[in-house]
Amino acid sequence: MSNYDKNLDKNNANFVPLTPLSFLERAKDIYPNYDALIYEDRKYTWSEIFKRCTKFASALEKIGIGTGDTVSVMAFNTPEIFEAHYSVPMCGAVLNTINTRLDAKTVAYILDHSEAKVLIVDRQLHSVIEKALSISKIKPIIIDIQDNFADQKLLKKIGDKEYENFLSSGDENYKWKIPKDEWQAISLSYTSGTTGNPKGVVYHHRGSYLMSTGSAVAWNMPNRLNFLTVVPMFHCNGWGYPWTIPMLNGKTICLRAIDIKKIFDLIEKHEITHFGGAPIVLNMITGAPESDKKKLHRKVYVLTAGAPPPSIIFKKMKALGFEVMHVYGLTETYGHVTQCAWNDEWNKLDEEKQNEIKARQGVRYPNTEGVTIMDPETMKEVPRDGKTIGEIMIRGNIVMKGYFKDKDATEKAMKGGWFHSGDLAVMHPDGYVKIQDRSKDIIISGGENISSIEIENTLAKHPGVSIAAVVAKPDEKWGEVPCAFIEKVQDKEVTEKELIDFCRETLAGFKIPKKIEFCELPKTSTGKIQKFELRKKAKEIN
């Protein structure tokens, strides 16, 4: 035993469990009277928000909620879901955010599986909740969010309590509970689960703290920035930003629902400097009618993640004055864990080549110990040749605790000491990762692996294409062939033949879609294309 191990133990002065909850208290101590949270006609300072969160935590405790209990929230991006990121864990409980677009059956499953004791819900969602509660075994206490900007036609009263009333039952001077152990659960998020039941991803306080410090460093986020919540806070806890922004003493501006004209209005009104959004949202921004757009008076930094962005989107966003950084991650990794960190020598390349590079998933965040591509069977790294496909593997403190009540799935996902992402990718010689496809989306044609993303990227460059999605279509001869579904740019005409000719200019013959359909694409609430729906459709097409 070395002298460094003697009489140098942890004590209350030198060891405090890491938790992002302390960021809110610090912001309140430094800037008590500065705006912290803005939503429509509501505005809260740091000391108001801190008091609201601690009072709400106290109110939860008074009805018996504490460490290890689940509090579910099904809400749009309004102040209440931001506050829940603090109030719920402040009494020791675990925050379970629920996707607002889910059907009643899935919501019922989540309420039962998560053992929710309380459900905070936007009144606009009551019809689905009513149905869910008629199915679920569990009957949580319902706390209604009464929002004047909700769709008033949809409002019914079914809650047991109303948010503001409930909040006011809390103690003004409640002392929030720092977790005893930073490994304690802070949140529970269910994956969308395209097959089978959704899985519950558990985050801990340590991971959420490190997600915040890592994000700030990787994205050069300055103090006192103005952040717009475009990403739903129910999605990986809004990529961690309800915790990261208070760490930076930044202002959060709530956007209840995606509305491109409103995004431009809020950027101007609140001098927004940063926001995040899925590629599909960026596509809505660039494709919006000119009357909805506004000239930016300063650079606005945008993070995009959630699906591999087509390279053309970088060009379109830049033309509007946005600076986009592409990042990659999963619900299981607290959101993004890689970034396409820029290299100076790329400045010499032409714009198209630059945008192709920007579409790479890139290199690891500073909070991430390892991101690599392996053969999942042998757990050997693939060669750095930009060609050999393997599975993205991730290791670090921002990999989830595991799946809630699912030992087998947890062990399978963490097999061999790496988190198996399920994303297929290649490693470029410079160590930058580029996704080829989700395991289940890859198209195998005549023994060749075809990346659906590569074909989508090509199609997206055609001026008539707004969004392209490519899936496998069963084929007697080849096994599978690519089949494309296209959302067209408004008022532009384009034909199947034109697009096939366009693909022929750059793609190998076996990669050219054998069939192209024009339609509106089915999407999840987070903007991901529902490829399983398209695969069904592709089967039926002749």
Which residues form the interface with its own copies (CB under 8 A)? 2-16, 18, 22-23, 26, 29-31, 34, 67-69, 94, 115, 183-185, 202, 207, 210, 213-214, 216-218, 220, 222-223, 247-249, 341, 343-344, 363-364, 366, 369, 394-397, 399-402, 404-405, 407, 410, 413-414, 417-419, 431
What is the rounded CA–CA span in Å between residue 310 and residue 356? Answer: 8
Q: How far is the CB of 494 from its own copies (least distance, A)?
A: 40
CA distances to 71, 185, 396 from 93, in Å: 7, 8, 24
402 vs 527 by CB, closer to its own copies: 402
Burial of 5 (0-12, 13-18, 19+ CB in 10 A): exposed
DSSP structural state of residue 382: P
What is the rounded CA–CA span in Å between residue 226 and residue 326? Answer: 20
Q: How far is the CB of 301 from its own copies (least distance, A)?
A: 12
Q: How far is the CB of 467 from its own copies (least distance, A)?
A: 31
220 vs 347 by CB, closer to its own copies: 220
Task: Count how many residues are written for the chain.
Answer: 542
395 vs 535 by CB, closer to its own copies: 395
333 vs 458 by CB, closer to its own copies: 333
237 vs 445 by CB, closer to its own copies: 237
Tell which residue, 290, 408, 310, 399, has the closest CA to residue 355: 310
Q: How far is the CB of 42 from its own copies (least distance, A)?
A: 22
Direct distance between the N- and C-terminal alpha carbons of the chain, in angstroms, rounded to an integer = 74
395 vs 440 by CB, closer to its own copies: 395
Q: How far is the CB of 428 from its own copies (least distance, A)?
A: 12
Q: How far is the CB of 35 from its own copies (least distance, A)?
A: 11
Among positive and negative, which fits the CA dihedral 88, 89, 93, 98?
positive
Cβ distance 281 to 271 under 8 Å?
no
Partners of 35 in the β-ladder: 45
Radius of gyration, CA atoms only, the chain: 24
What is the rounded CA–CA span in Å between residue 40 and residue 468? Answer: 35
Burial of 321-330, coded b for 16+ CB within 10 Å and e otherwise, reads ebebbbbbbb
Q: How far is the CB of 419 from its own copies (least distance, A)?
A: 5
146 vs 213 by CB, closer to its own copies: 213
Tell which residue, 122, 107, 33, has the closest CA to residue 76: 122
Q: How far is the CB of 507 from its own copies (least distance, A)?
A: 31
184 vs 331 by CB, closer to its own copies: 184
156 vs 415 by CB, closer to its own copies: 415
Helix, strand counts (H, E) of the chain: 17, 27
3-class SS string, 29-52: HHCCCCEEEEECCEEEEHHHHHHH
Q: How far is the CB of 15 from its own copies (least distance, A)?
A: 6
344 vs 476 by CB, closer to its own copies: 344
Question: Locate tokens 């992402």: which residue?
Answer: 421
Q: How far is the CB of 392 from its own copies (least distance, A)?
A: 13
- Residue 470 dihedral angles phi and psi, to the nearest 5°: -120, 135
Count Cα neighbours of 500 within 13 Å in the Cβ-side half-sphere.
12
Amino acid at the residue 393 = M
Q: How far is the CB of 9 from its own copies (least distance, A)?
A: 8
Q: Which residues 6+ apart lie within 8 Å of 15 measured at CB?
A: none
Question: Locate tokens 């070395």: which residue?
Answer: 2
344 vs 520 by CB, closer to its own copies: 344
Q: How far is the CB of 270 from its own copies (least distance, A)?
A: 15
352 vs 369 by CB, closer to its own copies: 369
What the block records as the tokens of 227 is 């952040």
Q: How far is the CB of 375 from its own copies (least distance, A)?
A: 17
95 vs 455 by CB, closer to its own copies: 95
What is the rounded CA–CA span in Å between residue 305 and residue 324? Answer: 10
Partners of 37 in the β-ladder: 44, 252
